[in-house]
Amino acid sequence: MPQLVGWSREEFNEEAQRLVSALKGLQKSSSASQEFLSDWLLEADGNAGHGGGFFLKHPSVTRIVRVDHQETTETEEEHHHEEEEDAFCDDTILQDDSEVMADPIAVDTSNDGNKSIHHSDHSSSSFVCETRWHFSIVYSNTWKAPIFYFTVENMNDNSSPCPRSDVLQILMTFSHYNRVEDAWEFLSHEEHPISRIPSFFLHPCQTLERLQTLLKMQSTMNGTENGADCSNCRLLSWLSMILPSVGYSFPSKLFQELQEQLSLPSLEGATTSGSEVDPS
């Protein structure tokens, strides 16, 4: 039974490498979650100091979220924002009305599909919003565990970053698990250790204990069926625990497949790929 007495950086680095190769090897499918998983990249962590290390980064993902809208305090600011923007309009700009068609960027369910979205429509009780997410997983020396960082942008609003209140609302729509009164319990905000961009992260306090419990459960369930040693699956298990909080499911079949693959003895010369260009 693997003990989480210490999840060292070296262990994390190794698991990260193996996980990314295993994920890359997945066959393309139409499952959104699977696509999401297979896109994780391994990048060099310049901050690792001793001996170098890796962190996992995901290319930006565009997601449509449906939020039960409550009046936010941003309302007045937004209106101001709009008036201000219009004040800068320049009517001398060349346009070609006969040929150009306004492009509806996001779906506004209360109007007909062709109308261009205006983001301050507070009349509808729920609205659909296109958001862009940036994810990364970085090992933390302080917590001796990986930390899941992310930022969210509101594409309806010139890709402005979403403030904490909006992100909390979005997360609550993802799963019942997230519906806690005081969501600070798991969502925190700090500078990303590598990009230095203030990012949200899921607080690691409780994750280690939960992970321990999860791994115990897994061990007792698996028993000695296939002699699988799950010490390489920590990152995988951790990921399967974290993803539902941000609205991705981890199909169990996929999990088992990956678990089996990771349990195999590691191959020599595991390659690292830091570039998006895929020579295959």
Partner 1 sequence: MAEEEGWVVPFVPFASSIDSPFWVRYCREKLETIQLSEDPISLRASYGVEGPPRLQCQENAFQEQTSVVANERVGVALTLRGFNTIESFQKCDKNQMIHDFFAPEFLDSSQSALKVMNSVLLCVYPELKSHRVLYWMGVPAILTCSGKSVRATQQTPLTEAWSAEEIQQLDNNIDSLRRSNLQENSQGLPPFFLVTKTTCKSFSVESYTQLKQQSTSPDDEIVFAFCDPSGPTPIQPQQPMGWPLRNLVAFLCHHLDLGRKTVKVLSYRPALIRRIVEEKESSGGDMGDKSILLTIRVPSKSDFEWPAVDAAAPKQHKVLGWELNARNKPGPRWVNLRPLLDSNHLAIQAADLNLKLMKWRMIPTLNVDQLQKTKVLLIGAGTLGCSVARVLVGWGIRNMKIVDYGKVSYSNPVRQSLFTLEDCHFDNGSGRLKAAAASDALKTIAADMQSEGIKLSIPMPGHPETRECIEESVSTLDALVKEADAVFLLTDTRESRWLPTVMAAAHDKILINAALGLDSWLVIRHGAGASDETTECPRLGCYFCNDIVAPENSTKNRTLDQQCTVTRPGLAPIASSMAAELMVSLLHHPKRQSAPAPKAGSMGAFSPTAASDDPSSSGPLGIIPHQIRGSLVSYTMMAPTVPAFKHCTACAAPVIEAYKKEKMDLVFNACQSKDGVFLENTSGLTGFRADAAEKIADMEDWDEDDDGDM
Of 148-187, which residues contact partner 1 (CB under 8 A)?
Answer: 151, 153, 155-164, 173-174, 182, 184-185
Distance CA 31, CA 59 (A): 17
Task: List the interface residues with partner 1, window 192-251 (CB under 8 A).
Answer: 195, 197-198, 203, 205, 247, 249
In single-letter form, the type of residue at position 267 comes to L
Smaller CB separation from partner 1, 68 or 85: 85
Q: Is 8 in the site for partner 1 (CB under 8 A)?
A: no
Closest distance to partner 1 from the beta carbon of 279 (Å): 9
CB of residue 187 to partner 1, shortest distance in Å: 10
Residues 88 to 107 in contact with partner 1, rule: CB under 8 A? 88-96, 98-105
Is there binding between residue 121 and partner 1 (CB under 8 A)?
no
Q: Which is nearer to partner 1, 4 or 184 (CB)?
A: 184
What's the min distance (Å) between Cβ of 168 and partner 1? 12
| Residue in this structure with the two tokens 């680095």, named with its chain if needed | 13
C-alpha 190/C-alpha 168 separation (Å) is 15
- The only residue of 7, 12, 36, 150 in contact with partner 1, by rule CB under 8 A: 36
Rg of the chain over all Cα atoms, to the nearest angstrom: 22
76 interacts with partner 1 by CB under 8 A: no
User: What CA–CA distance (Å, rounded) separates 140 from 204?
Assistant: 10
What is the distance, to the nearest Å, from the Cα of residue 67 to the centroid of all Cα atoms in its chain? 18
Distances (CA, A) of 75 to 27, 69, 122: 45, 12, 8
For residues 275 and 259, give the distance between their C-alpha atoms in angstroms, rounded to a whole number: 25
Q: Is-contact 170 245, C-beta < 8 A? A: no
Among the residue ranges 189-197, 216-224, 226-234, 258-266, the one whose residues contact partner 1 (CB under 8 A)? 189-197
Return all residues near 253 (Cβ < 8 A) that are at least 6 apart: none
Residue nearer to partner 1 on the CB measure, 119 or 234: 119
Minimum CB distance to partner 1 smaller for 263 or for 273: 273
